[in-house]
Structure 1
């Protein structure tokens, strides 16, 4: 690996020869592979991981693998049973469990694509919490929405807006996660492009951009609220200097997080700044490069996120009433009476009553691309059930006939090929499952079946794996794998 000369000079001077040599050796090695199990779809206590190599110590559902398999051909990954994520990024769980544990909160993940930190956050937040996750770049926002839907939790909103839009929205949050764009030094061993594009000038541009992003959303964070600031880079300009700026200029205290010395996490490298910060360095920690700090905004704690019960009266918007009774009678969603229905661009969204008013504000002032559960698409007089519905933990699988697929059939289905159905299957939507887990819909029209899997989500590779590519090989006693 060829590292930029200026990076070597700067980082060696910052860290000293001994730490630099450890980092240099770590960057030259193979990056560890890790996955995080989805507790809404998988029982982590009984899941047996193929080629497993231990638990991620700061994340209860994180697992290391001995090698990197071909995840593309594992249907359970596409179903959201697990998420492929670098172990260092899973440190967010340690922070949330330390400071957000006993009551519902309203959280904004500001720069969220592709969705690793968002899906992790939603999996550990208290029930009754509401998560907004945002990505300014449209293409990346669509990937974020896909991964959030695969997680399956209904109390999530995905937006495609700028930080300044949030600053003007009037929405207020208990926690803001700012995994800000950075110079990407922590990705050097995975991404040749990051090495080629790096420059000292680029570091300075990132440092200024990161400050402006935090400034744009500072009014969205309530007094006493938490800012979780992170980058995937090593230098102090984008890390400690920005944390100090937020603390001194915007008004915040830097908070500690309990760690274990065996994890190899490094503290502050900025002379004269001894606040608790957490730097993950390849060669010292088992993961990629990451920096994280937790700050509490000055001011009296005035929590904004108490869950309020919505009125039982039907608040379904005009235009959505046409099919609302049908959706309820079909029994597609558990507890349908607890949701309000919204018709958006030909799709029905179901959002919990207790945050419907918040959704309405967001829908007016931000670009919402996903919220709650997308129940179905209006096609003529019918409503075609949506992939978001099938992936939701509130989905009632028994509302549709189901067909279990073998691995090769499941991969073909995920390529958006039509999979033959047994003659006994009735006409209409059919749930296709793999190892009992729903992966998509087909519509049986009698002489053939139409594959309804989202075209933008399909497996594009035509390669046919010789063996099953399952990461979760079985549950204890070969059951309890899928919730």
Structure 2
């Protein structure tokens, strides 16, 4: 399996692609487009680690193996769809789902690990995935009603044999004699996905292993035991795919050993349309621990790009401001603790309460020249100086200042007198 090449995808708006690419090129990176997804790129020249590039540091690209991009692309949710991501961390596929469903779509991401959900939430913030909500929960324990989701992504824990080039110890950790618990968990998660799917809904099952017991054998089991049928997947261009290693599962995809990218297995399963009646999404009345915010009455909110947010509400949870998606408010049962998208903090009380955007809440930065303080720069070296801890001179005032690069929103800067400093690195 060829995994030495470096691939990434652009996370910016389509109109900003030329600016992000020029920022990469200004630092010496060269790349070319991938044929299977328009925002995907493969590196041709990497003068220093791509993760240290300005485009990466400010969240406008996401470094991701090309095979790992396939599950969301092959689930292929429509714009505006609601998607359940059952096993989400570190967020590579979750943030891509967020991009695919668009501003009016919604992604609910489940992750049981306390450490990994922190990484998931950090990556969703970096990529500006405001249309996603997260919960620390085992996917098999999700309390959603049966038949309440039309699209589910299931990339369960697996032996990872397809990543052996990058993780040479994986065969020691998950050799053939040690995969039994993983196989059992995958069956449990497939059963849960089948119960949560509405008739006609689809689940994209994927793994990064080459183990037939976790791949074709699991699909065969699901076809035999669950109310699911297999949909044939069209092979995306730019990959080499091998034949299924079991009969009766034609239409699954297995990234072959001589293909670029990690080893991956993918299968798309549809719930039979004549299955159990769809209970559909249910609206839940609940009393949230926070309080709803009215931005029109809060200092520091005037002039921000609130229209960039999806449909939903702003809530104050002990001074921390979160955006809560309308679909999350309607769908998530009161028994499940979850988190929306962090936007910043509220300082002070009453008439003196002031909103301060989080440094990474770049989606709230208005166009340069608006009423809110925004500093637009056109030299990449200025961004590098900020990251090194240097400050920039700016007109006196109060409150944070939005930073843009040739009109591209980058971050919020803290103001200290006449100087601006980076508030998040």
Q: Same fold (TM over 0.5)?
A: yes
- Which residue matches 2:91? 115
Q: Distance between the aligned counterparts of 2:55 and 2:292, measured in 1?
A: 33
Q: Which residue of 2 aligns with 1:296?
A: 270
TM-score by length of 1: 0.74
**Which residue of structure 1 lines up, in the alignment, with residue 412 of structure 2?**
441
* Equivalent residue number for residue 248 of structure 2: 273
**Stretches of structure 2 lacking an aligned partner (at least 5 in a row):** none
Match of 1:61 in 2: 39
In structure 1, the residue matched to 2:52 is: 73
- Matched-pair contact (CA < 8 Å) for 1:166–1:217: no
Verify: 1:347 aligned to 2:320, yes or no.
Answer: yes
Q: Name the structure 1 match of 2:121.
A: 145
Structure 2 residue 323 is the aligned partner of structure 1 residue 386:
no
1:420 aligns with 2:391: yes
Counterpart selection for 2:7 from 34, 37, 55: 34
**1:26-425 → structure 2 map (5 Å cutoff):** 26=1, 31-40=4-13, 43-44=16-17, 47=21, 50=25, 52=30, 54-68=32-46, 69-92=48-71, 94-97=73-76, 100-101=77-78, 104-125=80-101, 128-167=104-143, 172-259=148-235, 263-270=239-246, 272-283=247-258, 285-300=259-274, 319-321=291-293, 325-326=297-298, 330-335=302-307, 339-352=312-325, 354-355=326-327, 357-358=329-330, 361-362=332-333, 364-371=334-341, 374-380=342-348, 381-390=353-362, 392=363, 395-397=365-367, 398=370, 399-402=372-375, 404=377, 406-407=379-380, 409-411=382-384, 413-414=386-387, 417=389, 419-425=390-396
The change in CA–CA distance for 1:334 and 1:41 in structure 2 (over 3 A counts) is farther
Q: Are the aligned partners of 2:88 and 2:110 in contact in 1 as well (CA < 8 Å)?
A: yes
The residue that corresponds to 1:464 in the other structure is: none
Classify 1:223/1:344 alpha carbon distance in 2 versus 1 (closer, same or farther; 3 Å). farther
Deviation for aligned residue 1:72: 2.9
Post-superposition Cα deviations, 1:253-305, rounded to whole Å, max 9, x if no partner, equal 111122268731123111x334211111332x211111110000123498888
Q: Deviations over 1:392-414 (max 9, x none)?
A: 2x542542332538545534544
Shift of 1:167: 4.0
Root mean square deviation, CA, Å:
3.4
**Cα 1:199/1:36, change in 2 over 3 Å:** same
Say how many residue pairs are matched. 407
Tell whether the 8 Å contact from 1:58 to 1:90 is kept in structure 2 after alignment: no
Asked if 2 retains the 8 angstrom alpha-carbon contact of 1:106 and 1:305, the reply is no
The CA distance in 1 between the partners of 2:273 and 2:338, in whole Å, is 30
Give 1:152 shift: 2.1
1:169–1:365 contact (8 Å) kept in structure 2: no
- For the residues of structure 2 that align with 1:334 and 1:451, how far apart are their CA atoms? 22
Alignment-derived partner of residue 8 in structure 1: none
CA–CA distance in structure 2, aligned partners of residues 389 and 182 of structure 1: 34
Q: What's the TM-score, normalizing by structure 2?
A: 0.83
Which protein has greater RCO, CA pairs closer than 8 Å, 6+ apart?
1
Q: Relative to 1, partners in 2 of residues 1:345 and 1:388: Cα closer, same or farther, differing over 3 Å?
A: farther
* Conserved? CA contact 2:140–2:188, under 8 Å: no
The structure carrying a bigger helix percent of its residues is 1
Change beyond 3 A, Cα 1:423–1:253? closer
In the alignment, the residues of structure 2 paired with residue 338 and residue 264 of structure 1 have an alpha-carbon distance, to the nearest angstrom, of 40
Q: Distance between the aligned counterparts of 1:441 and 1:141, measured in 2?
A: 24
Hey, what does 1:470 align to over in structure 2?
none
1:85 Cα offset (Å): 0.9
1:37 touches 1:81 (CA, 8 Å); kept in 2? yes
Alpha-carbon displacement from aligned partner over 1:199-243 (angstroms, at most 9, x marks no partner): 112222211121122223433222221110000000110001111
In structure 2, relative to structure 1, the CA distance for the partners of 1:249 and 1:327 (3 Å cut) is farther
